[in-house]
A and B are shown apart, each in its own frame.
Chain A
């Protein structure tokens, strides 16, 4: 399968704590993207990091990319109950965008 892997599969934290999700992929990439999916909804794009970038920030989100290890991480700081959702990484290579299996994040109020 071309899909990458994400860990953990599920994560439960208290409001205010930080959440870290990791993603590994198999092929060379143009970029690595992170998406969020609330239950029963479509996916929403959060952030894109290009293959020549190592770190990127957007609000409470911080993404890192290590192309030598074919891995990325997403850090959500000061989590809120509203951050409860599934988070997916997607690697862009050529014309394809391949999604991982996702991390289910639950933030307890």
Chain B
């Protein structure tokens, strides 16, 4: 079974530039997550999709970050314009939607996209 694919693995940009990250979840996983992990910290949820609808984006800085999930499969996360504090690893994860509406099962993570903003 193929895992969660992310690209690019590394990206270096200057502040005020834009960047986009792509994620392809495991086939059949209804739920897709984008987490931001700053060096030395735990992952922080930015946005959670269930199929192609947004379940939670309460911690997404919507003035600069946007995300979409096309046809309930692939997803892109965009930052425009980037700030120095956006330097982090952006992790995509997916999970199987369990019955009864509970979605808190095992998450499968990609390798992450490391962003450096200069």
For B91, what are the chain A residues with a Cβ–Cβ distance below 8 Å?
A: 42-43
Q: Does A3 lie within 8 Å of B109, measured CB to CB?
A: no
- 6 A-B residue pairs with CB within 8 Å: A30-B104, A42-B110, A44-B109, A95-B102, A96-B104, A102-B41
Interface size on B, residues (CB 8 A): 27
When C-beta atoms are compared, the residue in chain A nearest to B4 turns out to be A42
Contact in complex: A96, B45 (CB < 8 Å): yes
**Chain B residues, Cβ within 8 Å of A3:** 42, 44
Give A31 to B55 CA distance when docked, in angstroms: 19
Does A30 lie within 8 Å of B109, measured CB to CB?
no
Segment touching B, from A12-20, A57-65, A75-83, A86-94: A86-94
Q: Could you tell me the distance in whole angstroms from the C-beta of B26 to the nearest C-beta in chain A? A: 13
State the interface size on chain A (CB cutoff 8 A): 26
What residues of A have a CB within 8 angstroms of the CB of B33 in the complex? 97
Do residues B107 and A45 form an inter-chain contact, with CB atoms below 8 A? yes
Q: How far is the CA of A3 from the CA of B105 in the complex (A)?
A: 18
Question: 9 closest pairs, A vs B, by CB?
Answer: A92-B104, A42-B109, A99-B42, A43-B109, A101-B42, A45-B106, A99-B43, A30-B104, A95-B103
Which residue of chain B is the closest to A45 with respect to CB atoms?
Answer: B106
Contact status B42-A94, CB under 8 Å:
no
Closest to B43 in A: A99
What separation, in Å, do the CA atoms of A94 and B105 have in the docked complex?
11
Complex Cα gap A102–B48 (Å): 21
